[in-house]
Amino acid sequence: MLLQILGSKRPVICFKAKELLRTAMQHYRKEINWKQGNIDLITANETETLSPPVADCRVLDPRIAAWLLDPADSAPCFQELVVKHSKKTSWLKSEIPGANKQLDVCTNLVLLDQLMMDLRANLQMQGLWQLFYNMELGLMTVLAAMENHRIHVDKDALKRTSDLLGTKLKQLEQEAHKAAGQQFLVTSSNQLRLVLFEKLRLQELCENKKLPKTVLKQHHSTSEVVLMQLQDLHPLPKIILEYRQVHKIKSTYVDGIMSCMKKSYISSTWNQTGTVSGRLSAKHPVIMHLRSLHFSGKEPEVVTIHPRSMFIPAEGWTFLAADFSQVELRLLAHLSSDPELLKLFQEPETTADVFSMLASQWKGIPETEVKHADREQAKRVVYSVVYGAGKERLSEILGITADQASQFVESFLQKYKQVRAFTQKTIQQCQKQGYVVSIMGRRRPLPHIGAQDYTIRTQAERQAVNFVVQGSAADLCKIAMIKIFILVASSSTLTARLIAQIHDELLFEVEDSQVEEFAAVLKSTMESLQHVEALGVHLKVPLKVTLSTGKSWGSMTELLDSRSCSH
């Protein structure tokens, strides 16, 4: 019966449809395969039949539809959705759970159908139906297939790394006790607060600095921001910062991966509705934020931990990563139409580093004289504008005063005047409409955009600008995932598997013999997204994709443009 439903040509409605598709693919590997079938991708102007994903149907999921309408409400249960979006809420009240199970099921199916119809009408009214049908439902199938792919893990290397980090934590704990002059529980905020502010009284050494306090009890905070302010006054805060960093890597990532392993592999669960920006999130394990960690070992040794190195391809396969280069900056150039920013990307193809060129433009110095610090400043200032980071955060990142950080941003916005105009226009539109829109029509309502409270209002203003840029980047990445999935699934030869998405990067597992061919296809497909006819996207700047390959995720080397990647 399930195979007949999924094989029908009629729309299927299912709450949490990804779980249904993933389970169906697990249990019916022969009958349902991500490399089979046809699916109708309805565009604004025409119907285009594409093959592949799972059988011959597109499953409508009201949970995803509701999230598009209200992205802040990411995980409502079925009853909550009915109450919020459906006209038949009275049916819920008349139910007596368990009194008649068959009646309960039939009632819920009628509610499910009505809920999807009501949501469909709402999506169409708000201009979100194409985004729902073309992008989010297509992506749901991609994610279901991804969750069925295994990512192999070097279990022995993972265990060694966990032991090494455990030894480092004990060492840091001893250093903390020595610096404090007493033993205390390093992971306890209350005990740390007593040592820092009652015994050592570090708050009295903070000249002209008002240390943040906890919201509820107004105690001195022991947050990262506070410890960074105190680290030059005494050795203890710096030790605690390092301890927390090592502890997070060990508990969340290394031990977290071990707890999720099945034999010698993991399969992350991908959450499509977990963020307001439209980006994906992952759990079991969290692999989005895996970063290298450097710490001191035996003098003068520096130990580097590469959690990504634990992930390895299957025998005879290679990892291939594709990354949208400087996608936020390119989108900022497109959205603002700033002539100087556009010039960076519209000039003939250059091998020069974009952020070095930007620093040269901004500071009015020859590119040959741009230092690493200049490039880093330019990069951080751009992202502080895009992500709405305040002058305090920027000052921490660059190691300068808040006033200097403010001057950097101001001089940047003076140079790129249209960027300021874009941010102001975005905020004004949000104040007028109550929401902002990405390049592909994704919406984010911001009810606090007109708040009387300055802090709440300015936070909403930063979120508005951030969403337009970051939400647009998320859209591009999702379209890339769908297009490549369709391309591979409908190919009689290509077998590449998409196994992870990390912000603007896609990670594939590719048969060794197909790396060169697939790299060329991948690069051209992703860069072609400068123009997406179906969703009316035409970027003023080209997209650039960098490719890298490796026999572990932590040892990837860039695949330079060659004949294989240029046709």
| Residues 507-546: tens digit of each pLDDT | 999 999 999 999 999 999 999 999 988 777 899 999 999 9
Q: Give the residue from 110, 502, 1 showing the smallest Cα distance to 268.
A: 502
Summarize the confidence of residues 178-183 as an average pLDDT: 94
Helix (H), strand (E) at residue 499: strand 497-502
Omega within 30 of 0 (cis) for the link into 285: yes
Dihedral angle at the C-alpha atoms of 134, 137, 143, 145, nearest 10 degrees?
Answer: -90
Name 302's bridge partners. 296
Statement: residue 363 has pLDDT above 50:
yes
pLDDT for the residue numbered 352? 62
Q: Give the residue from 354, 359, 395, 353 showing the smallest Cα distance to 374.
A: 359
Lowest mean pLDDT among 175-184, 195-204, 336-345, 371-380: 371-380
Statement: residue 348 has pLDDT above 80:
no
Most confident of 96-100, 349-353, 527-531: 527-531
Rounded distance, CA 39 to CA 356, Å?
45
Summarize the confidence of residues 162-171 as an average pLDDT: 92
Share of the chain above pLDDT 70, in %: 88
Rounded distance, CA 384 to CA 543, Å?
22
Token look-up 């999807």 returns 116
pLDDT, greater one: 371 or 212: 371
Please give the structure tokens belonging to residue 109.
């199916």
Q: Is the distance from CB of 138 to CB of 487 less than 8 angstroms?
A: no
Lowest mean pLDDT among 268-277, 291-300, 439-448: 291-300
pLDDT for the residue numbered 299? 55
| DSSP per-residue letters across 308-334 | GGGEEPPTTEEEEEEEETTHHHHHHHH
Q: Give the residue from 10, 13, 21, 138 showing the smallest Cα distance to 86.
A: 13
pLDDT, greater one: 32 or 343: 343
CA angle 103, 104, 110 (to 5 degrees): 90
Statement: residue 261 has pLDDT above 90:
no
Lowest mean pLDDT among 174-188, 284-298, 364-378, 395-409: 284-298
Please give the structure tokens belonging to residue 52.
């592949």
pLDDT for the residue numbered 416? 87
pTM for this structure? 0.84
Strand order in the sheet with 497-502: 497-502, 505-511, 317-324, 545-550, 557-559
Give the other-Cβ count within 10 Å of 383's Cβ. Answer: 17
Q: Is the distance from CB of 34 to CB of 54 less than 8 angstroms?
A: yes
Q: Give the residue from 480, 492, 484 showing the smallest Cα distance to 36.
A: 492
Q: Is the distance from CB of 41 to CB of 48 less than 8 angstroms?
A: yes
Residue 364: helix, strand or coil by DSSP?
coil
CA angle 399, 405, 407 (to 5 degrees): 145
Residue 550: helix, strand or coil by DSSP?
strand
Q: What phi and psi, each to the nearest 5 degrees, are found at residue 165? A: -70, -35
Q: What phi and psi, each to the nearest 5 degrees, are found at residue 329? A: -65, -40
Domains of the chain: 2-148 (no CATH), 152-266 (1.20.1060.10), 328-471 (1.10.150.20)
Rounded distance, CA 176 to CA 198, Å?
16
pLDDT for the residue numbered 501? 93
pLDDT, greater one: 169 or 377: 169
Lowest mean pLDDT among 12-26, 90-104, 125-139, 471-485: 90-104
Residue 130: helix, strand or coil by DSSP?
helix
pLDDT for the residue numbered 207? 67
